[in-house]
Amino acid sequence: MNNEQPIIVGLDIGTTKIAAIAGRKNEFGKLEILGFGRANSNGVQHGMVLNIDQTIKAIQTALENCYASNPNLPISEVYVGIAGHHIKSLQTRGDIVRQNTDEEIKQSEIDQLINDQYKTYIPAGDQIIDVIPQEFTVDNFQNIPDPIGYSGVKVGANFHIITGDKNAIRNINRSVEKAGLITKDLVLQPLASAAAVMCDHDLEAGVAIVDIGGGTTDLAVFYEGILKHTAVIPFGGENITNDIKTGLGVLKTQAEQMKVQFGSALADEAKSNAFITIPGLRGMAPKEISVKNLAAIIQARMSEIMDFVSYHLKQVGLDNRLLNGGVILTGGGSQLKHLIQLTEYVTGLNARIGYPNEHLAAGHIEELAKPMYSTCLGLILKGYNDYENKRKQFELQYTKVNIPAHLQQPSVDEVEADITNHKNIVVKPRKTLKGFMDSFKNGLIEMFKEEGDSEL
């Protein structure tokens, strides 16, 4: 365990679940999970906090579960994800003329350039959440990824600015504060998810990260190592569940269960002769629902979401084969059957599921590598990015906290030791083909013997 690093906590306030994960980087730069808790979310719709009281209770439940998994955890500051259809983005340009042209460009000058962008005019009622530099220029030299160390008179950059509704941001901050925590930073959810599922090769090749959550689908597009575009599409897994509920006349819990167990994103792949039987309400006759009809409803909504993704890619001129890395699907909704095929058909790009195990240390439990935890794990990585680049103040003294046993998979040695302890296990020798044929022949002889005996 590396005690020279801070413990960073990610808090994902989603439409269907609230997750709190505490992690610390080990000596190999991989995330070790020190605490994990989740709770059902009630006060959030389409990624926005509407009922503050219910959201506070859900955050506290997730925290209690996190403490239950590891009572030694110190949790006070959290990195929080933000989404919702109020999120907008714009491109700006900023330049500064340097005071000391004889010296090389320093980090303080880049910080000044970024801070100046927070004065950009945005509509009343909105607030800047994040300013992300894309590519820098120094005098006549363009497309510089990192200008520190260069020498020149004028330094500038193109920026991607993310804005959100002031009230929506205030509701998140109030919920977190009333739950007894401090918001260290707000991070746009698709950027957090991208950090968790992407590697350097993806960044270089160019990818579109599509995070299908409960209330929203978040999009982040990277090309030539630069964040080109972000968007929040106001549809997600909840919309599919509501469509099934309305279209098939079932309860919401039944609709969710059918979607998870029998759902498919392609109606052509569903069996036409397969049916799901649902118990009737209060003595009414049970209902039979066609698996093909279920898939048709899911396909209609999923196609709509993917059409939005294609539209956003067209907007930034990356709709054709320019994204060599294709589409990376993540989030809870990405686990639908045949979604990869539908995505490839609608967008014309290669697709795969993005699991957040890219930066996780070995030996973690399988639950944490599910796509639904991409955002939460990405928030921890965003925190480490701040720590490593000295963007935020962190404590100088770090506490020693061990990984709880139930958050680790048993090692191979432990499994072998467990088997050797059970002396009474009888291991039957595996039958060879000859042994199988002999037993088959003996069986036939016995059968004919019995027939012959019965005739006599």
The DSSP letter of residue 407 is G
pLDDT of residue 290: 92
C-alpha–C-alpha distance, residues 140 and 155, integer Å = 10
For residue 66, tell me if it sits in a domain. no
Confidence of residue 309 (pLDDT cuts 50, 70, 90): very high
pLDDT of residue 450: 47
pLDDT of residue 410 exceeding 60, the answer is: yes
For residue 259, tell me if it sits in a domain. yes
Q: Which of 323, 354, 385 is the last residue of a domain?
A: 354
**In percent, how much of the chain has pLDDT > 70?**
88
pLDDT of residue 406: 80
Q: Which of 321, 339, 354 is the last residue of a domain?
A: 354
Residue 108 shares a structural domain with residue 238: no
pLDDT of residue 221 exceeding 90, the answer is: yes
Residue 233 shares a structural domain with residue 318: yes
Tell which wins on pLDDT, 440 or 153. Answer: 153
Q: Which of 304, 334, 354 is the last residue of a domain?
A: 354
Residue 114 shares a structural domain with residue 221: no
Residue indicated by tokens 């939005």: 308
Residue 249 shares a structural domain with residue 348: yes
Residue 307 shares a structural domain with residue 207: yes
C-alpha–C-alpha distance, residues 364 and 404, integer Å = 10
For residue 129, tell me if it sits in a domain. yes
**Least confident piece of the model among 396-400, 415-419, 436-440:** 415-419
**Least confident piece of the model among 208-212, 352-356, 440-444:** 440-444
Look up the domain containing 223 and give its range.
198-354
Could you tell me which residues come within 8 angstroms of residue 107 by beta carbon, excluding any fewer than 6 positions away?
148
Counting the structural domains of the chain, the total is 2
pLDDT of residue 444 exceeding 80, the answer is: no
- Coil, strand, or helix at residue 172? helix
pLDDT (mean) for 3-17? 90
C-alpha–C-alpha distance, residues 352 and 24, integer Å = 28
C-alpha angle 225/169/383, rounded to 5°? 45
Residue indicated by tokens 């072998």: 416
**Least confident piece of the model among 115-124, 282-291, 292-301, 324-333:** 282-291
pLDDT of residue 411 exceeding 70, the answer is: no
The CATH number of whichever domain residue 343 belongs to comes to 3.30.420.40
For residue 361, tell me if it sits in a domain. no
Tell which wins on pLDDT, 439 or 386. Answer: 386
Model's pTM, two decimal places?
0.85
Confidence of residue 419 (pLDDT cuts 50, 70, 90): very low
φ, ψ at 274 (rounded to 5°): -100, 135
Residue 207 shares a structural domain with residue 150: no
- Coil, strand, or helix at residue 275? strand
For residue 312, tell me if it sits in a domain. yes
C-alpha–C-alpha distance, residues 148 and 110, integer Å = 8
The CATH number of whichever domain residue 156 belongs to comes to 3.30.1490.110
Residue 336 shares a structural domain with residue 229: yes
For residue 235, tell me if it sits in a domain. yes
pLDDT of residue 89 exceeding 70, the answer is: yes
pLDDT of residue 428 exceeding 90, the answer is: no
For residue 35, tell me if it sits in a domain. no
